[in-house]
């Protein structure tokens, strides 16, 4: 189970799938990725993920020749091969600029590398949704925040610090300003509406972040995209984190301080239920 991957047009055992040491993704982190989640074999928000991938690839000049039909077919096929068409699965699609024997500046006419990985969802994700998450502040931020670049060293170093502190997430900061989590977007609430940092502050335009903003508007929950401070987060009535794998998870603690009473808030729970309903509707053919 989950021991096959898709690499450059072929389905291969994961221990047989290799790329050249001259692949620019390996040498320079020159590539992109999308992380998605499937529910009983259906990939949620697939169109949004593929659009972001294509838009980001265009922005940095990686020519993705495969169309949506090609990618969708092989994503679905890999889930089937790995017996992941029932239950929930983690999916990662990676594109690099390809093999290049030149210098830092890319050579012309390179063939991109395409890799797809699938595996069962970590059971901790459901626990985080129910029981909540603790986080710490990190004094750094994501490189190239507007795209899902393979350059993840700030997140890696940050999460190593998070593990030392026995927490689950780190919040990138810019001085007193909060930006986003190492792998999540962040929302805070005064109990009446919700706020989230704007894209212009230098954060990833998360797919789940976008879905939550749209849901809040449909539910007539006041939603504001505005810069936020550490103090606003610490004094909030409730807060939550989002990404495609975790969905919506309550943020209950920042370092040694509880958010309000340290329990999931009413707005968070309401949005969690709306998100579940959105998933069900989104997976209906």
pLDDT in the model for residue 285: 45
Q: Where in the chain is the domain with CATH 3.30.470.10?
A: 4-121
Strands (E), 97-245: 113-120, 133-138, 169-174, 177-181, 185-189, 193-196, 222-225, 228-229, 238-243
Annotation marks residue 148 as catalytic: yes
Beta bridge partners, 181, equal 171
H helices of the chain, in order, are 24-28, 46-60, 68-81, 124-131, 153-164, 207-218, 230-234, 266-282
pLDDT band at 282 (very low <50, low <70, confident <90, very high): confident
Average pLDDT, the chain: 94
Q: Of the residues 69, 92, 124, 148, which is catalytic? A: 148
Higher pLDDT, 98 or 284: 98
Report pLDDT digits (tens) over 132-150: 999 999 998 888 888 999 9
In CATH terms, the fold of domain 126-282 is: D-amino Acid Aminotransferase; Chain A, domain 2 (3.20.10)
Q: What is the pLDDT of residue 64?
A: 87
Model confidence band, residue 27 (pLDDT cutoffs 50, 70, 90): very high
Q: Are strands 169-174 and 133-138 parallel, antiparallel or unpaired?
A: parallel
CATH code reported for the domain at 4-121: 3.30.470.10
Residues 182-236 have pLDDT tens digits of 999 999 999 889 999 999 999 999 999 999 999 999 999 999 999 999 999 999 9
- The percentage of the chain sitting over the pLDDT mark of 90, rounded to a whole number, equals 89
Q: Which range, of 9-18, 40-49, 66-75, averages the lowest pLDDT?
A: 66-75
Q: Note the pLDDT of residue 142.
A: 83
Give residue 1's pLDDT.
Answer: 52
Instruction: Quickly state the pLDDT bin for 6 (edges 50, 70, 90).
Output: very high
Residues of the chain with CATH 3.20.10.10: 126-282
């Amino acid at each position: 189970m989950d021991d096959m991957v898709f690499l450059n047009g072929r389905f291969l055992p994961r221990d047989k799938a290799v790329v050249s040491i001259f692949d620019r993704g390996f040498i320079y982190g020159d590539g992109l990725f999308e992380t998605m989640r499937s529910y009983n074999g259906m990939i949620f928000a697939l169109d949004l993920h593929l659009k972001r991938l294509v838009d980001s690839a265009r922005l940095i000049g990686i020519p993705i020749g495969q169309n949506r039909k090609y990618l969708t077919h092989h994503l679905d096929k890999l889930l089937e091969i790995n017996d992941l068409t029932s239950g929930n699965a983690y999916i990662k699609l990676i594109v690099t600029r390809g093999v290049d024997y030149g210098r830092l500046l890319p050579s012309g006419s390179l063939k991109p590398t395409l890799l797809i990985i699938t595996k069962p969802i970590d059971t901790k994700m459901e626990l985080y949704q129910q029981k909540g998450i603790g986080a710490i502040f990190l004094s750094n931020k994501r490189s190239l925040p507007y795209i899902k670049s393979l350059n993840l060293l700030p997140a890696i170093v940050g999460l190593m610090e998070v593990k030392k502190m026995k927490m689950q997430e780190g919040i990138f900061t810019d001085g007193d300003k909060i930006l986003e989590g190492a792998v999540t977007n962040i929302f805070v609430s005064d109990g009446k509406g919700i706020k989230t940092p704007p894209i212009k502050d230098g954060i990833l335009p998360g797919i789940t972040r976008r879905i939550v903003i749209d849901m809040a508007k449909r539910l007539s929950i006041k939603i504001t995209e505005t810069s936020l401070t550490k103090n606003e987060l610490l004094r909030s009535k409730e807060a939550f984190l989002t990404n495609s794998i975790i969905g919506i998870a309550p943020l209950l603690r920042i370092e040694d301080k509880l958010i309000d009473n340290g329990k999931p808030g009413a707005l968070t729970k309401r949005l969690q239920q709306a998100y579940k309903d959105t998933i069900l509707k989104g997976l209906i053919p």
